[in-house]
Chain A
């Protein structure tokens, strides 16, 4: 008898008219594991999450949660998961405390236990002093924490989180990651999260699945994925002023450029070969009218794997 997977999909496809949002996606999430679905915007992450959360029917293939088909037995599947959507998912008519009460009640937590857990969640999420505020009185990050309180007011064995820290500041992100990790560790809960934040995937997940154009492009641990770009190298070029020009992608094949990202006064070029033709690349920069201040070759990170696959997608 095979091991029961928390989540299993086989040849899962979703089409919106002529657009194929997911194409033949097969994946597994084992018990107590934490899996991140990583990919650029439009890769199909939210579509996948919605199918698993029983909110969207696949066009073909199947998706199972704890061995139950998401399409045929949505009521049973829903009992086993706690879903936090990407967009705002709070009741604007209720204050913070009442939103948490509602989440607890929806998860069947009642009586004194409900009040105790609401209080504890308010403390854990640093929302105790905002309990009586309406959501209009909170910052974006605080509203996101109200939304994430669902995670602490649910005993479901599977957390499905769609970009849980979208719009949260760096410190807030770290707080949320640590809260999710400790919640999952405490109860052995499986986590499936969709994100395009590399640090989030690396911190929270033990397995990362790269999705691009609705297809699984690669999967594995963070170090396994980094090894996929082991032969690659990166060049960081800092210029004298913010760069307005666009990278001439017509030269990418000739120069072995996988991707080039411009941010402020810096260009990062991912190259598919270690033997760099630095002089040729610097010449391209000069041709763009840029004044180069500094050139370095930093270590490859998960971001580079992302850029490699995003470029391919």
Chain B
């Protein structure tokens, strides 16, 4: 198992509103991963997207960096924390799951707002 952590710049997820609620997406099974999306507690974190990864596939730090940087650029995920439990998902699956988790979080957060 390898533990990776990224703090990436990203546009604020929700402007001017306190973030609430969390969402779990995906399943911990071979070639797949689960992602928990939660609001970061700190006010200073509005422009930071924090990503914590436990992965069964060791030595892919650069690939993670590339996939997640692209995610943080394309989505307004500032102020959100992502916790990933990965069992060797391909970069494509990771990208898809991240986008899905983000969308689900937005949907839940809209409903709550």
Co-complex (A, B): no
